[in-house]
Structure 1
Amino acid sequence: MEKLKWPRPPVLLGLVLGPLAENRLFLSTDNYGLAWLWRPGVLIILALILAGILYPAIKEQRQKRQAERLLAKTSASVQEPKKVHLRLNRAVLFSASIVFILALALLQSRNFGFRAGLFPWAIGFPVLALAIVQLGMDLLGFERRLAHEGVGEIGLEIPRELVFRRNLGIIGWTLGFFVAIWLLGFSLAIPTTMILYLKFAKEKWPVTLILALIAWLFFYGLFDYTLHVPFAEGQLFVWFPPLYRIFFWLK
């Protein structure tokens, strides 16, 4: 996914929070209809999502205009119109497979009732639209053209051994995060794994503790205190109830 420039964090978030998001969406819609969309907390989250989608596109357009102005200043010759050539590579095949899977899933959900199909439709159609856009960009070689024009950086070829070690590390940390969630629960797993990860990366203790505290406060403040999401307790607290009482007192 790294070579094809598909980010991994959304995959992890989807695997962890997907079932929970489906449950909360069903409960909110069943109890409040669509009125919950106008609550201040929901509007803030939607604004952050919209900003996260628009900011990279706006930044990319600015970089492209700067590159075009730079080329216009340094090149005295008249540039010929660029020819569009369709490409067929790994990125195109991967994007096409994502589009196919999403389209097939939505096709199978066409007979769902409103309550059963709400979550797959709310997620599936926007993601399908974005996947189609990405497929078009891959077919036209949009990313490569930007790199050729001076927008962004052309990455060096990474040795396979380094890629293999990085992939093993990513898989290990992901599995470790799931194990921490199972043992400690979400509230403790997030700061614990963040501290371990940052210290493994040889980060200084003050920075590590501050970042872990910020992550815990954000997670606890949003999901536990504000949204009252009922996360399951860690298995350690089931095995050793006194630990749960200590944690509950600290909480």
Structure 2
Amino acid sequence: MLPVPGLALEKPVAIKEAPKALREAVAAPHRSPEFRERDRYRHPLETLEFFGVEPNMSVVELWPGAGWYTEILAPYLRQRGNYIAAGFVLDENSPRYQLRLNEVLLNKLRAQPALYDRAQLTTLGPPDHWQIAPEGSADRVLSFRNVHNWLAGDYAPQVFAAAYRALKPGGLFCIVEHRAWPGSSLEQMKKSGYVTEEEVYRLAEEAGFLALSGSEINANPKDSKDYPEGVWTLPPTLALKDQDREKYLAIGESDRMTLRFIKPAKR
């Protein structure tokens, strides 16, 4: 049976409690100023501490985009761990935004080899790119605001299955996602970019995961989730441009669930 969303919540971790190495990685001067500006919405220190990401782990990040978390994770894991970015599958039919983000990420990795030379790249997506890491090799698989895209593409189950295969027994699949109102339909989720917690739990359970707990680290009670252009109405996208810009800036980025699922240990 699926757990009831919202019951197994943990308090956000205080910054002073986070390990020194993680605090240093988040505070590192190489991070892009525009990325650092979003820390107040994305809470990377508290989020990665909640996910239990340690510097000696093998960590796969699904669809890292322009490398917001790459700037933190790749240097953090460089000496003792392993960082794998499972990016977009690109061809002539790929959306323009994926091509642009991929170029930004690759340029970032090439420009600073002292930080990113040990980062590994794989791909994730249809028709047949589902091996994101060697089977049973990863301690953590992380996804930040991607589930709605996989639902829209009708391949979310394949992604959850790929994460399950890549993880070691006892490894965690950790998800941050725009949170829809309970009872939202699948079509509403695809259109708005907001996903119900129930849907994420369902996908995880079908892949074989067990739910651990969630956190309200990335919650935003100001988010009413009823905008003309869905979640993209809010920053950072601001799809309506200058229309009601100050209103949406005052709301901030979306309300997000922060969840952990475990691959059961072998019996």
Q: Which structure has the higher relative contact order (CA within 8 Å, separation 6+)? A: 2
TM-score, length basis structure 2: 0.24
TM-score, length basis structure 1: 0.25
Higher strand content, 1 or 2: 2
Higher helix content, 1 or 2: 1
Q: Which one has a bigger Cα radius of gyration?
A: 1
